[in-house]
Amino acid sequence: MVGYAFMGAAHSTAWRTVNVAFDLPARARMALICGRDESKVAAAARKLGWDATTTDWREVVERDDIDVVDVCTPGDSHAEIAIAALAAGKHVLCEKPLANSVDEARAMVAAAAKAQANGIRSMCGFNYRRVPAVAMMRQLIASGRIGVIRHVRAVYLQDWIVDPQFPLVWRLQKDKAGSGALGDIGAHIIDLTQFVTGQKITGVSALTETFVKERPLSSESSGLAASSGNGDAPATGQVTVDDAALFLARLDGGAIATYEASRFAIGRKNGLRVEINGSLGSLVFDLERLNELEFYDSAAPTAEQGFNRILITEADHPYMAAWWPPGHIIGYEHSFTHEMRDFIEAIATGTDPTPSFLDALQVQLVLDAVARSAEQGTVWTDVEPALAEVAA
């Protein structure tokens, strides 16, 4: 694994638990963790359970006893590491969003296609697809239970940077993160809504905003020219990404949609909520109540109609047979264990896991259309289709 911060910790928990929770044809061995700071990565290895450490990601790619590379770094190094790992014959799991630009994403798709010809698997870490309630939402829609999809309504709201004194961390720097709330949390609701509806976004009209434009530098604000204050004031730097992105969208199955991604929705901690309205019913998922799915079924007797709360803990709910008896709920980290389960299963059975790098390129194309629409004054902007045969 390359990286050991929040996603590194979440993925490590999943690698440690996946073979306990699921009977799989292969076992994950947590062989090598990579980070730039030698003492920090050594501490992370002890804490997270990795056999060895390195400060050079190329060692991860070159060692012939390594089969899988898990990319958990900021977006500015996803392409370089994933492309090298695929060329070295490693299966690759890469965190979302796939890249910081469409061009990088296209290069990753090309590398994945080449590697796939040799049986090498690649997958992008949109983990919310693997929350059982989300997988159940997709099953209900695919089976026609809510009819023709009319509306998609998705928000992903956080508030961790509402304090103007919160420092200029890498997620607030375009050269490191590619974009702000849009790519970090907007990417999740783009992927999740396309996954559950089976429809793709074809066009958007968008607004973005940066509410706090300058912040104190932090140890993470490396490489930034510090515009220092009047001597004793802490040095500050420019925020170069969006704090919030709002957009309208059309999907290729006829649905119309609204999306909102913000880090300034004070009080909302990890407030991902998706409501899908169909011709026969509605479904609602709320990440802060991730074991539940609300289902309004117009086929029910009128006197019984309402948003029924389904507790997604039965053995025949997606992934839940691996865990506990009904009613014993699971958490955020289990979505990563399910992600590793599906990745190991795909590698062992010689199939291609989803979301593929091509699926993730399509998300990147939506992100790019949203950014261009906002830059050009909220003009309607088409999303070009993600094509498999991309220029190498």
Binding residues vs ligand SOE (CB under 6 A)? 6, 158, 184-185, 270
Q: Which is nearer to ligand SOE, 158 or 381 (CB)?
A: 158
Both tokens assigned to 80: 């370089």
In 3D space, the residue among 352, 344, 346, 335 whose CA is nearest the CA of residue 29 turns out to be 344
Both tokens assigned to 226: 């510090």
Q: Which is nearer to ligand SOE, 275 or 339 (CB)?
A: 339
Q: For the CB of residue 335, give the shortest distance to ligand SOE in the complex, in Å.
A: 9
Both tokens assigned to 264: 């300034």
Q: Which is nearer to ligand SOE, 195 or 295 (CB)?
A: 195
Contact 334, 321 (CB under 8 A): no
Q: For the CB of residue 113, give the shortest distance to ligand SOE in the complex, in Å.
A: 26
Q: For the CB of residue 270, give the shortest distance to ligand SOE in the complex, in Å.
A: 6
Q: Which is nearer to ligand SOE, 6 or 324 (CB)?
A: 6
In 3D space, the residue among 103, 238, 261, 99 whose CA is nearest the CA of residue 173 turns out to be 238
What DSSP letter does each residue of 221-267 carry, written as one string? -TT---B--SSSSPPEEE--S-SEEEEEEEETTS-EEEEEEES--TT
Q: For the CB of residue 175, give the shortest distance to ligand SOE in the complex, in Å.
A: 17
Over its C-alpha atoms, the chain yields an Rg (Å, rounded) of 21
Q: Which is nearer to ligand SOE, 195 or 296 (CB)?
A: 195
Q: For the CB of residue 363, give the shortest distance to ligand SOE in the complex, in Å.
A: 12
Query: What span, in angstroms and rounded, lies between the C-alpha atoms of 236 and 295?
Result: 48
Query: What span, in angstroms and rounded, lies between the C-alpha atoms of 16 and 358?
Result: 28
**E strands in 103-185:** 122-125, 149-157
Q: Which is nearer to ligand SOE, 129 or 250 (CB)?
A: 129
Residue nearest to ligand SOE (CB): 184
Q: For the CB of residue 134, give the shortest distance to ligand SOE in the complex, in Å.
A: 13
Look-up: residue for tokens 């370089």? 80
